[in-house]
Structure formats: C-alpha cells, structure tokens
Chains A and B, each alone.
Chain A
Amino acid sequence: MRVALFLTCVNDTLYPETGRAVVRLLTRLGVEVDFPMAQTCCGQAHYNTGYRHEAEPLARHFADVFTDYDAIVTPSGSCGAMVRELYPRMGERARAEGRGDTLAAVLAPVVPKTYELTEFLVDVLGVTDVGAYYPHTVTYHPTCHGLRSLGLGDRPRRLLEAVKGLELVELPGAEECCGFGGTFAVKNSDVSAAMGADKVRNAESTGADVLCAADNSCLMHIGGTMTRLRTGMRPVHIAEILASTGEAAV
C-alpha cells in the first residue's frame, strides 16, 4: 500500500514534531510512509473565509500531488474534513455554476482515500494498541471538525486508553468548540478568546498535565491561552502521545 503523509501547512511550518511523530508511529506499525514534497495547503482557510474560487487551485494541487497514493493520512481532523466533506461540495458548486464536471472529476479520487490519523490507525490498520508508553495524566478535547464532520467518534479515546502509563481523565464540556475557528480567532477575537479561556478552565479542572487533541490549529489557540493564563498544562498532539515509547524523541 502506498501511503502518503499529508501533514498540512500549519504542521509543516509550525509543528514539525507532529509530522516526525506520525512518521515514527507509522513506521513502527510497519507502514512505509511517503511525504510528497510538492504538497502545500488544502485550501480550508480560503474556503471557510469565503474565497472558494481561490481555494479551487489549492484543491486541484492537492489532488495532483496525492492522486496516485492508496491512502492519504493527515494528523488534522479539520484538514481531513476539508478534503472529505468540502472537496465534493466544491465540485458540485462548480457544476452548478455551469463549469462542468472537471473539478469534481479531479477531486473525486482523493476524497475516499483521505484519512485522519486515528481513523487510519483504527479503521485501516485495525489497531488500537499502538505500543505507546506515556506516563502522564491526559484529558482529550475532540475538535469540532473531527467530531462532527468526520465522525471520529471514540477512536481517539480508544487509542489513548490503550497507551501504557497514560491516565485519561474526562474533560467537562468536551464537545464545545475551543473558539479557534480559523480566521474566526482574529475576526471575532473577543468571543474566540472567551471560548478559549472557558475551554482552558475546564481542562484545568481535570487536574491533567496534558490536554490532547488531533488538530494542532486548535491546540495552538488552546496552548496560547494556557500560557497566557499560566496554567502549567501542556497542549500535545495525539500523534506525539501515540508515537511516544518513553525513549527520547527522534
């Protein structure tokens, strides 16, 4: 199986350790993973801010880069949802605007092959115990697009529960949005900040050392709020927990 890592532009630029963790984890599970160097951005920020036409070349570029792989794995529920839920919609809209089936036809092959990391582990590889060791108290925040657009369900929790040394504690109001929302965090920064602060206070009330999620964009917002509120908690991407074996990171 030819598996490609779609790391996302945010992870590539700001959170390379998440990418290294995905590579380490998948390699340990016997998957040979490739990183197509031409990959850039799925276009979600453009699409969700109202720049659908500007997002189209990015979607085409994504399809061009990834179309030959059997599976495309991404450590981002949000970017995964962009491909799986919104690429088909972009194709339909182009058709409705009388621009024919070309866009839909280009995008169609990559849509069903794109998996968020925890989906790939549980559904494709069929594992929940990935052999990780992570001796910390962890609370899990299910990010909105992973939860509602992709329907990740309890997959991330099942993976975390199988990690040795990890104590998973319930996050109150877990399914409430952290307030990131892409450009929402800047356009409506007061409401966004209030939502983030409430999320962090809920996380703090669990007594956990670590808040874990499957999306670094949300973790950037939550983590930035955590340090500002001086909580002492750390935001950690689920890939880094699952890749951890207690040895020093690569």
Chain B
Amino acid sequence: MSGTFVGMPAFPVAARQAVGNETLRGNLRHATHTIRDKRARAVAELDDWAALREAGKQIKDHTLRHLDRYLVQVEEAVTAAGGTVHWAADADEANEIVARLVEETGESEVVKVKSMATQEIALNEALEARGIHAYETDLAELIVQLGKDRPSHILVPAIHRNRGEIRDIFRSEMSEWGRPAPEGLTDTPAELAEAARLHLREKFLRAKVGISGANFVVAETGTLVVVESEGNGRMCLTLPETLISVVGIEKIVPRWQDLEVFLQTLPRSSTAERMNPYTSMWTGTTGEDGPRTFHLVLLDNGRTDTLADEVGRQALRCIRCSACLNVCPVYERAGGHAYGSVYPGPIGAILSPQLRGTKSEIDASLPYASSLCGACYEVCPVAIDIPEVLVHLRERVVQGGPAVRGGNRVVLKPAKGHAAERAAMRAAQWAFTHPGALRTGQRLASRTRRLHPRTLPGPGRAWSGTRDLPAVPAEPFRDWWQRTRGGKDGAK
C-alpha cells in the first residue's frame, strides 16, 4: 500500500517510543479528551441516537450486500451526468489512472481535498514520481505535508502537534512550497490560520486540477458528497477545470434520503458538531458552473476481499468519523503513527490487516493493539463490533485459516512467532480440561510460594518491569473448600 509505511516495526515497538514521549502523550491526551467529551454532549442531545445508529448500520449492510448492483448504478448515473468512471483494483492501478488523467490536462500541479482514500494509495508520492506536485489544502494535512510527517489521526491528522510546533513548521517550510509565512508569526490560532489562508489562496486560484475523495456516493443520482469544516475542500471542488475523485467502493449509499442518517451521525461523532460547516455535493458536470471535466475513480484495494469475510466485513461500514480513535485508551498513549497505516486507532487495527493482509510484522501485530475494553464499539455510529473483529483477526494471525486475497480463496498459514504461545495455550487447555492436573499445579505453586521471584525472566519481564506480581496464597480456594466443606463436595 503506502510506501511510507513499508518496514514499519510491530505495534508494540512503535508504541513504546510514543509512550516514552511526554510531549506527544500530553498533546494526544489533551486533544482526545476534549473531543470525546464534546462528542458525548453532542450525541446526548438526540433522543433517537440509538435508532440512527441502527439505521446507519442497516443502510451500510444492505449496500454492502448488494454492492455489485449499486456500483453499476453509480457508473450509469455518473456517466449520464457527464462524468467518467474508472475502475481501480488496487493502489497501483488507481495511481496510474490519476497520474494519466492529470498528464492529459498538461498540468504539473494539483490541489487536494483531504482524502483518506488517496492517503491509503499514497497518491501524492506516486504523482511526485511522475513530476506532478500535489498540494494538500486541509489545514491539518498542510501541517503534515509541510512537516514531511505522516498523519496521526483520521480527522485531525496533525493531532500530535501543538501550536508551537506548527508555528515552527510554517516558519521554516512554507517558503519551500509557495508563499512564505508572514514575518513574526506567533502561535496564536488566528495568526496560524491566517498564514495558512494566504499560503493556500495562491494555490486555489492557480490550480487547474483538483483531486478529492468523498464521504458518500449516492447511487440513485451519482452524487458525491464531501463534508468538511474549513471550506478549503469546496474551493478545490469548484475552482479547478478538472476534478478527479478517488473513492473506495464501500462509500456508496443507495438513496439521497439515506444521507439524512449519516449527515446527523457523522458530524456529531467526528467533530462533535450538530452539522458540519460545509457540505458539498456534486453530480457529474454542469455547464459553465464548476469543473468542466469530472472523473470518478472507484477503488477496491482489498475491499472485496474484506467483503468476503463474514465477521470482518462489518469494518466496511466505517464512515471515517474517528470517534473510536478519540475514545481509545491505547490510541491515546500510542498515537497514530504506531499503527503503521493511514487508518490508525481501533478501526485501523481491524481495517488495515484486512485491506493489506496479515503477512507483515506490523499487520500481524495490529489485531493485538487493543485491550478489548469495548469503548470503540460503544461510540461507533454504525455499530461496528471492533472487539469482535479484533479477536477474529487474532485467530487468523495465530491459527491461519481460510481467507480471500486478491479475489482468490486461500488458506493462510499462521504468522511466525506464535509457536511458543500456541504450545502454552494448548498446555493450559489440557490442564483446564483435567481438573486434577490443575489442582496439582495450584498446590505446587502454593508449596513453593516462598521461592517465587517478584520479577520474572523471559516474556514475563514485560509484566514485572512495571508491576509487582501478586503473592501466591498458602492454599488455593478449592483446597480450602474441600477442607471446610469436604463432606458436601459438589464435584461431578
């Protein structure tokens, strides 16, 4: 997938660095707690939240079940409205299509609306390799791009940066990309926003090609929808002569009316707003108004493989609100980069290993990047049971088993490095199905209790490095029970 994530270490290793970085942890804690509290208030305002959540889940499940039909409907509607539809099986195909479309315009610059799909396929890097400069226009994406950084959050890509860091990035980097930062720029939000506004305006007015994703595609009309807070997206969608939208095939909703549900649940879940400030919708091309040429690139990139998995497919309901990130205690400590994917947090931990497979070290470790506390499921506006999918993917990692990759049914082998654990689990299973053996083990532990170290060697060090172990009691409960109630033992 994205070249920038190749060779990422496993999650625990990447997370360790983040946990040790006090500034990063402070930035993350502040941002996630602020937004999660606001979200809870915004959601509590609606007495029909549970019904909206269920409706969103049903609409998405229905669409996924009949995706073949709705995709054809989208193609027909977009074509009828004067647009052109392209099909991309994977990242390489999508990047090739977009690069070719840009080259056909004769331009070497494009402005971009913030888009997860184009991040997923590493479009900017692919365009750069063809001599095309892609400028991110979302404020947070701009910060990430100028800082030669990677996004750390779905909604707030620069969540890991504080105001001082942003000022420093603007001061040192803006001039490399276009209009420099104003003299004497401070870290007040208004000044930072104004610096970005001036820098970006130049690009909006110059660009002939815009590239976007979409939050939704309405099948019955062929309409694409982008919701945003800043209005920068709308500038990219309306000013250029050519608009190219790269959209994951799971973004479809059947009817215009379905937006009624998501335009309530998405803003409340993501930015904790009743309604997002800008909702832009476009259908093909419209005479002299807006772009003259419109291309829709429909992206698979592992989505039909995911759809084939009956437990894991619910991840495709995701509307990228990021509520699960903001409430996740693991994300809060580890930050987004540790997930080694453009989709961080709980949703990333189930989406990335499905879209990319579980072969790499990072992808095999992602299903374990959770304490299974369930807070993500509780807040998810389309009721994705993230803990259920995590456990399902853990099974795939340690046991292997049937899956669909690249459209083919395959039997996956277990990932490397789980042999000792598997042996231990099987030994424990044997002991637990032989109560006598368990009892012998307990008694042995009790009799040798004075010899037990308070810290452990080997894998146990991971525990005892930061926590004390409990002392083993003199007598396990079952021995006490038999000693005191032995006469009426209920054993079978």
Given A51-B395, A51-B422, is A37 in contact with B478 using a C-beta cutoff of 8 Å?
yes
Question: How does the 8 Å CB contact mask read for A85-97 relative to B, with 1 for contact and 0 for none?
Answer: 0000100000010
B472 interface residue, CB < 8 Å from A? yes
B333 A191 Cβ-Cβ under 8 A: yes
**Which residues of B sit under 8 angstroms from A181, Cβ to Cβ?**
370-373
CA of A193 to CA of B292, assembled, Å: 56
Residue of A nearest to B385 (CB): A89
Most chain A beta carbons < 10 A, residue from B12, B426, B478: B478
**Which residues of B sit under 8 angstroms from A58, Cβ to Cβ?**
429, 432-433
A191 B432 Cβ-Cβ under 8 A: no
Tell which of B333, B470, B477, B488 touches A7, judged by Cβ atoms closer than 8 Å.
B477
A162 interface residue, CB < 8 Å from B? no
CA of A195 to CA of B329, assembled, Å: 7
Residue of A nearest to B488 (CB): A34
Tell which of A52, A183, A187, A193 touches B466, judged by Cβ atoms closer than 8 Å.
A193
A189 B329 Cβ-Cβ under 8 A: no
B465 A195 Cβ-Cβ under 8 A: no
Instruction: List residues 371-390 of chain B with CB under 8 A from any CB of chain A.
Output: 371-375, 377-378, 388
A14 B470 Cβ-Cβ under 8 A: yes
Given A12-B442, A144-B374, is A40 in contact with B435 using a C-beta cutoff of 8 Å?
yes
B374 A37 Cβ-Cβ under 8 A: no
B178 to chain A, nearest CB (A): 39
A232 interface residue, CB < 8 Å from B? no
**Which residues of B sit under 8 angstroms from A168, Cβ to Cβ?**
none
Tell which of A16, A38, A49, A89 touches B491, judged by Cβ atoms closer than 8 Å.
A38
Tell which of A40, A50, A185, A188 touches B11, judged by Cβ atoms closer than 8 Å.
A188
A245 interface residue, CB < 8 Å from B? no
CA of A247 to CA of B89, assembled, Å: 71
A91 to chain B, nearest CB (A): 14
B480 A228 Cβ-Cβ under 8 A: no
CA of A52 to CA of B371, assembled, Å: 17
**Which residues of B sit under 8 angstroms from A48, Cβ to Cβ?**
372, 391, 394
Tell which of B373, B428, B442, B468 touches A148, judged by Cβ atoms closer than 8 Å.
B373
A38 B492 Cβ-Cβ under 8 A: yes
A156 interface residue, CB < 8 Å from B? no
**Which residues of B sit under 8 angstroms from A223, Cβ to Cβ?**
468, 470
B421 A49 Cβ-Cβ under 8 A: yes
Given A16-B477, A195-B371, A224-B468, is A47 in contact with B391 using a C-beta cutoff of 8 Å?
yes
**Interface segment out of the listed A108-116, A129-137, A172-180, A207-215:** A172-180
CA of A54 to CA of B433, assembled, Å: 11
Secondary structure class of chain A's binding surface, majority of residues: helix
Residue of B nearest to A55 (CB): B429
CA of A40 to CA of B372, assembled, Å: 23
CA of A227 to CA of B466, assembled, Å: 10
A80 interface residue, CB < 8 Å from B? no
CA of A145 to CA of B377, assembled, Å: 12
Given A46-B425, A144-B373, is A191 in contact with B491 using a C-beta cutoff of 8 Å?
no
Residue of B nearest to A89 (CB): B388
Given A14-B473, A58-B433, is A50 in contact with B397 using a C-beta cutoff of 8 Å?
yes
Number of A residues contacting the other chain (C-beta, 8 Å)? 74
B19 A190 Cβ-Cβ under 8 A: yes
Question: How does the 8 Å CB contact mask read for A142-170 relative to B, with 1 for contact and 0 for none?
Answer: 00110111000000000000000000000
B278 interface residue, CB < 8 Å from A? no
CA of A46 to CA of B429, assembled, Å: 8
A106 interface residue, CB < 8 Å from B? no
B205 interface residue, CB < 8 Å from A? no
CA of A59 to CA of B145, assembled, Å: 51
A189 B466 Cβ-Cβ under 8 A: yes
A54 B426 Cβ-Cβ under 8 A: yes
B477 A51 Cβ-Cβ under 8 A: no
B330 interface residue, CB < 8 Å from A? yes
CA of A26 to CA of B421, assembled, Å: 38
CA of A58 to CA of B15, assembled, Å: 33
**Which residues of A sit under 8 angstroms from B477, Cβ to Cβ?**
7, 11-12, 16, 19-20, 35
A224 B398 Cβ-Cβ under 8 A: no
Question: How does the 8 Å CB contact mask read for B23-51 relative to A, with 1 for contact and 0 for none?
Answer: 00100000000000000000000000000
**Which residues of A sit under 8 angstroms from B421, Cβ to Cβ?**
49
A232 to chain B, nearest CB (A): 14
B435 A37 Cβ-Cβ under 8 A: yes
Given A65-B492, A177-B329, is A225 in contact with B467 using a C-beta cutoff of 8 Å?
yes
B490 A53 Cβ-Cβ under 8 A: no
Given A46-B428, A179-B329, A191-B333, is A36 in contact with B372 using a C-beta cutoff of 8 Å?
no
B491 A13 Cβ-Cβ under 8 A: no
Instruction: List residues 195-250 of chain A with CB under 8 A from any CB of chain B.
Output: 195-197, 220-221, 223-225, 227-228
B465 A189 Cβ-Cβ under 8 A: yes
A148 B378 Cβ-Cβ under 8 A: yes
Residue of A nearest to B394 (CB): A50
CA of A191 to CA of B438, assembled, Å: 31
Tell which of B310, B330, B372, B398 touches A191, judged by Cβ atoms closer than 8 Å.
B330
**Which residues of B sit under 8 angstroms from A191, Cβ to Cβ?**
12, 15, 19, 330, 333-334, 369
A177 B470 Cβ-Cβ under 8 A: no
B476 interface residue, CB < 8 Å from A? yes
B492 A36 Cβ-Cβ under 8 A: yes
A215 to chain B, nearest CB (A): 12
B399 interface residue, CB < 8 Å from A? yes
A149 B463 Cβ-Cβ under 8 A: no
CA of A52 to CA of B25, assembled, Å: 35
Instruction: List residues 344-388 of chain B with CB under 8 A from any CB of chain A.
Output: 367-375, 377-378, 388
Can you list 6 A-B pairs, Cβ within 8 angstroms, ordered by A?
A: A51-B398, A180-B371, A181-B373, A185-B463, A187-B368, A188-B368
Name the 7 nearest CB pairs between A and B, nearest first: A181-B371, A50-B394, A224-B467, A37-B491, A177-B373, A189-B462, A16-B477
- For the complex with contacts A14-B470, A144-B371, A193-B467, 18 further pairs of A-B residues with Cβ separation under 8 Å are A4-B490, A12-B476, A19-B480, A37-B482, A40-B431, A40-B435, A49-B425, A51-B422, A53-B399, A54-B426, A175-B375, A181-B372, A188-B12, A190-B19, A192-B371, A195-B333, A224-B467, A224-B468
A interface with B by C-beta (< 8 Å): 4, 7, 9, 11-17, 19-20, 23, 34-41, 43, 45-55, 57-58, 61, 64-65, 89, 96, 144-145, 147-149, 175-177, 179-197, 220-221, 223-225, 227-228
